[in-house]
Amino acid sequence: MLEKDWWKSATVYQIYPKSFCDSNDDGIGDMKGIINKLDYLKNLGVDVIWTTPMYVSPMMDNGYDIADYYNIDPIFGTMEDFHKLLDEIHKKDMKLIMDMVINHTSTEHFWFKEALKGPENRYHNYYIWKDGTPDQAPNNWASKFGGNAWQYVESLGKYYLHLFDVTQADLNWENSELRNDIYKMINFWLEKGVDGFRLDVINLISKNQNFPNDTYETAISDGRKFYTDGPKVHKFLKELTANTFGKYPGSLTVGEMSSTTIPHCIKYTNPNNKELSMVFNFHHLKVDYPNGEKWALGDMDFKSLKNIFFKWQVEMEIGNGWSAVFWCNHDQPRIVSRFGNEKYLKESGKMLGTAIHFLRGTPYIYQGEEIGMTNPHFETIDEYKDVESLNNYKLLLEKGKSIEEAIAILNQKSRDNSRTPIQWDKNKNAGFTSGTPWINVAKNYSTLNVENSLKDEDSVFYHYKKLIELRKDYKVISHGDFIPMYEENTQVFGYIRKFENEKLLVLNNFYEDEIEIEIPKEFIGKKILIKNYKDTLLESHILKLRAYESLAIYLK
Ligand code: GLC
Ligand code: CA
């Protein structure tokens, strides 16, 4: 029998199938490619695999624009391949969670095509429509991918809402027929044996039905407060859970929560509420957005980073909520290039791993993070493929930035930074494909790759493998309380975890400069569970942390 919170000692690995491994040399990763690499993931030691959407899609947003929830897109393989993938994952004693995008569908979806036929059609109300004239949108909400969030349909004299791309129409959760069709579809996948879901932007499903204008006083007063953690979101989630995964004890659900708050995340995940197992939030990944603006160059604000972690860790624990903890995913630049240092790739890659994995929460690893993959440093706009990046590139030029400035911003902020193919070995295209990859491989693949990482005992890979193992062996990591340390320190992110008579002190120097710190005397001479320098000694309560040095000290 599965323990009811088995995921507290588990680690999840995220696969972006398009860029993982290509089995038929069309340049696009696929399910057979994933199957070929399952031994590698088993060796790493992860418990759960999350695959981003593989349903039928025109791929305007790489699958987050679903045209048919019941079928696999041919670029990834067939339904038979899917069954095989699920089976092989289960045989290896791992689990599979699927991505579920139910805030919106592609405008290619049958529902939307029917909806376009007019208000009498059964599916019209599956989407959000407002009357208007071509020159006057219903309100001033912004699309998260740039521009206004409403699109005019001339034949109907109405606008539909799209919080993302114009081809991603928001679903109308107020309509119970839509909700029931969603439940039916989720049950279709549960019946196949999938172990849970990652729910895309799930806290955006309930919109304020007055659709008010926003003020645009700050970078975030763009309408989001009227649909983020909206009026009926908890009601909808409880109903969704009760009708679908709630009937499958032990299934794992993780909600992607855009611009959310701690009180809401407690409600989403406190087991008494029967909503979700855990949630992602992104506040710690906005500490390099100057004044909240993503599309501008910015340095990490370390003080804010620490404050955000401390606040979320402490308050989620008090509310008995549970977080997914992570640095990387398919929407975020590579963490080594971002908050680490490519010159200290191993040291900073390992330090960042330790900093996240010993937090209270379930750690998520994004493909390639476990070998310390970096941003690709693309040189021209043709190398970029992502719809959000291309839209914002245009907007940056319109605002008067030069091409060089705009590329520099994309090099730091674009989602494509994490979408380059996995660097398997030093062969052509990093062993990802013998065809032409859909997006360029980062140039450092001849040295930085999986093959080399597996041969090198000191690689970031083995550090991550160890972090995963330690979580299984030590309750203080999986179940301990969280206590902030060194709150005023401008270089060190440190904390203590505590479980019964066990304690773990975690120390991470986020900078190249050395720094001296004092540790509580009870930790002197105790066991170092993991470190990123071979010769770290614990002989006194004064400790000198070198560039990106990190260690975790255990006592019982
Ligand atoms: C989520 C996904 C992102 C996608 C967006 C719209 O944020 O992670 O990749 O573009 O939702 O579905
Ligand atoms: Ca392929």
Q: Same domain for 423 and 511? A: no
End-to-end CA distance of the chain: 29
Domain enclosing residue 499, as ranges: 479-555
Q: Same domain for 83 and 149? A: no
Buried b / exposed e across 491-501, counting CB within 10 Å, b at 16+? bbbbbbbebee
Q: Same domain for 369 and 498? A: no
pLDDT tens for residues 336-347? 999 999 999 999
Separation between Cα atoms, residue 437 and residue 46, nearest integer Å: 27
Q: Is residue 243 part of a domain?
A: no
Q: Is residue 244 part of a domain?
A: no
pLDDT beyond 70 at 463: yes
Mutate to test the pocket of ligand 1, among 59, 60, 61 (most ligand atoms within 8 A of CB): 61
Buried b / exposed e across 46-82, counting CB within 10 Å, b at 16+? bbbbbbbbbbbbebbbbbbbbbbbeebbebbbeeebb
Distances in whole angstroms, Cα of residue 463 to Cα of each of 33, 338, 346, 363: 25, 19, 10, 14
pLDDT beyond 60 at 488: yes
The residue out of 416, 443, 465 marking a domain boundary is 465
Cβ < 6 A, ligand 1 pocket: 61, 64, 101, 164, 200-201, 256, 330-331
Q: Is residue 151 part of a domain?
A: yes
Q: Same domain for 356 and 419? A: yes
Mutate to test the pocket of ligand 1, among 18, 105, 200 (most ligand atoms within 8 A of CB): 200
Identify the CA nearest to 318 among candidates 275, 273, 262: 262
Confidence (pLDDT) at 1: 56
pLDDT tens for residues 171-228? 999 999 999 999 999 999 999 999 999 999 999 999 999 999 999 999 899 999 999 9
Q: Is residue 179 part of a domain?
A: no
Which residue minimizes the CA distance to atom 7 of ligand 1?
201
Q: Same domain for 299 and 444? A: yes
Per-residue DSSP letters for 229-281? T-TTHHHHHHHHHHHTGGGSTT-EEEEE-TT--HHHHHHHH-GGG-S-SEEE-
Confidence (pLDDT) at 75: 98
CATH number at residue 159: 3.90.400.10
SS3 472: helix
Q: Is residue 138 part of a domain?
A: yes
Q: Same domain for 450 and 484? A: no
Question: Residue 3 — pLDDT band, cuts 50, 70, 90?
Answer: confident
Q: Which amino acid, 250?
A: G
Question: Residue 393 — pLDDT band, cuts 50, 70, 90?
Answer: very high
Q: Is residue 266 part of a domain?
A: no
Compute the average pLDDT of residues 56-72.
98
Compute the average pLDDT of residues 43-68.
98
pLDDT tens for residues 318-359? 999 999 999 999 999 999 999 999 999 999 999 999 999 999
User: Known catalytic residues?
Assistant: 200, 256
Confidence (pLDDT) at 179: 98
CATH number at residue 12: 3.20.20.80
pLDDT tens for residues 359-386? 999 999 999 999 999 999 999 999 999 9
For ligand 2, an ion, list residues with CB under 5 A.
22, 24, 26, 28, 30
Q: Same domain for 133 and 88? A: no
Confidence (pLDDT) at 122: 97
Q: Same domain for 67 and 89? A: yes
The alpha carbons of the chain give a radius of gyration, in whole angstroms, of 23
Q: Same domain for 349 and 487? A: no
Question: Residue 110 — pLDDT band, cuts 50, 70, 90?
Answer: very high
Q: Same domain for 441 and 376? A: yes
Among all chains, which residue has been given the structure tokens 């932007």?
201
Distance 283 CA to ligand 2 centre (A): 35
Distances in whole angstroms, Cα of residue 58 to Cα of each of 66, 75, 392: 8, 11, 21
Instruction: Indicate which atom in ligand 1 lies nearest the CA of residue 165.
Output: 6
Sign of CA dihedral 233, 234, 239, 241: positive
Question: Residue 4 — pLDDT band, cuts 50, 70, 90?
Answer: confident
* Ligand lying nearest the CA atom of residue 27: 2
Q: Dihedral angle at the C-alpha atoms of 86, 91, 95, 101, nearest 10 degrees?
A: 0
Which residue minimizes the CA distance to atom 9 of ligand 1?
331
Q: Same domain for 65 and 146? A: no
CATH number at residue 515: 2.60.40.1180
Work out the mean pLDDT of the chain and round it to a whole number. 97
pLDDT tens for residues 498-554? 999 999 999 999 999 999 999 999 999 999 999 999 999 898 999 999 999 999 999
Distances in whole angstroms, Cα of residue 401 to Cα of each of 163, 260, 330, 389, 411: 26, 31, 26, 15, 14
* Ligand lying nearest the CA atom of residue 81: 2
Instruction: Indicate which atom in ligand 1 lies nearest the CA of residue 388.
Output: 10
Question: Residue 25 — pLDDT band, cuts 50, 70, 90?
Answer: very high
Q: Which helix (H) or strand (E) holds 105?
A: strand 104-106
Distance 22 CA to ligand 2 centre (A): 4
Confidence (pLDDT) at 219: 87
* Ligand lying nearest the CA atom of residue 22: 2
Q: Is residue 236 part of a domain?
A: no
Separation between Cα atoms, residue 80 and residue 17, nearest integer Å: 16
Q: Same domain for 434 and 382? A: yes
Q: Is residue 2 part of a domain?
A: no
Instruction: Indicate which atom in ligand 1 lies nearest the CA of residue 387.
Output: 10
Overall domain count for the chain: 3
